[in-house]
Amino acid sequence: MTKYIIVSGGVISGVGKGVIASSAGTLLKSLGLRVTAIKIDPYLNIDAGLMSPLDHGEVFVLSDGGEVDLDLGNYERFLDVELSRINNITTGKIYKEVIEHERRGDYLGKTVQVVPHITDAIQNWIERVAAMPVDESGEAPDVCIVELGGTVGDIESAPFVEAMRQFQFRVGHDNFCLIHVSLVPVVGSVGEQKTKPTQMSVRDLRGAGLSPDLIAIRSTKPLDEVVRDKISMFCHVAPEQVLAVHDVSSVYHVPVLMRDRGVIDFFRRRLSLDAINIPSDRRAAGAKHWDKWIEFTNSYVRLHDTVTIALVGKYTNLHDSYISVYKALEHASIAQSRKLEIKWIEATHLEPETLKTDPLKYHESWQSLCGAQGVLVPGGFGSRGVEGMITAAKWAREHKVPYLGICLGMQVAVIEFARNMCSMPDAFSAEIDPDTKTPVVIYMPEISKTHMGGTMRLGVRPTIFQPGTETSSVVRKLYGGKPSVNERHRHRYEIDPQYVQRFEEKGLRFVGRDESNNRMEIVELDTHPFYVGCQYHPEYLTRPLTPHPLFLGLIAAAIKKN
The rounded distance, in Å, linking the Cα atoms of 72 and 88 is 8
Which residues form the catalytic set? 407, 537, 539
- Determine the Cα–Cα distance for residues 48 and 29; give it in Å rounded to an integer: 28
Contact 117, 98 (CB under 8 A): yes
DSSP 249-268: S-GGGHHHHHHHTTHHHHHH
The set of residues, in sequence order, having a beta carbon less than 8 Å from that of 297 and lying 6+ positions away, is 250, 252, 253, 256
Residue 512, judged by CB atoms within 10 A of its CB (0-12, 13-18, 19+), counts as: buried
Query: Which residues contact residue 484 at a Cβ distance below 8 angstroms, ignoring those fewer than 6 apart?
Result: 462, 463, 464, 465
Half-sphere exposure at residue 43, Cβ-oriented, CA atoms within 13 angstroms:
13
CA pseudo-torsion sign 277, 293, 484, 470: negative
Tell me if 532 sits within 8 A of 474, measured CB to CB: yes
Instruction: Output the CA–CA distances (angstroms, integers) from residue 21 to 168, 178, 391, in the order listed.
Output: 18, 11, 41
Q: How many helices (H) and strands (E) does the chain have?
A: 19, 23
